[in-house]
Amino acid sequence: TPLLFAGWIAGIITSGAAMALPFALLSDSVDYGEWKTGVRAAGLLTAVGAAFCLKAGSGLGGALPAWILEATGYVANQAQTPQALLGIEVGFIWLPAGFYLLALIPVFFYRKFERMESQIHADLATRRSLASSDQP
């Protein structure tokens, strides 16, 4: 259907930014966490944010549409019922679109970080220089 094709094209175009953005934001999250708590948790945040969440998302991203197809009565290589066609539409257009919209929520909080970014980096540089001058 044209709607399915349009959703597929939109998904491909936006996937590039969606896949690159978390890695770009990860270092800022590490800096913010260090500024707020005094602990630089780069390893933990990378393991959880980049490794676990991406793997869990990839698994669920493949499983959810399959579950929807099963629940709506999809049968491969057969003429599909209206319910199965709706399942295809939901699983491959509306569900991904909804997740993309949910993924935009953190972007609004990132703007708050951008306003404070230079101060955060200056504070961290000061802390690091003081910590290195305390070393024998």
Res. 5: pLDDT tops 70 = yes
Res. 63: pLDDT tops 70 = yes
Residue 123: what pLDDT? Answer: 95
Tokens of 65: 């549409």
Res. 136: pLDDT tops 70 = no
Residue 121: what pLDDT? Answer: 92
**How far is residue 131's CA from residue 75's CA, in Å, rounded to a whole number?**
64
Min mean pLDDT across 20-24, 26-30, 45-49, 113-117 is at 20-24
Alpha helices in 72-104 (DSSP H): 82-89, 95-103
Instruction: List pLDDT tens digits, range 102-127.
Output: 888 887 877 777 889 899 999 999 99
The pLDDT-based confidence of 72 (bands split at 50, 70, 90) is very high
3-state secondary structure string across 24-72:
HHHHHHHHHHHHHHCCCCHHHHHHHHHHHHHHHHHHHHHHHHHHHHHHC
Who's near 54: CB < 8 A, 6+ residues apart? 22
**How far is residue 121's CA from residue 136's CA, in Å, rounded to a whole number?**
25
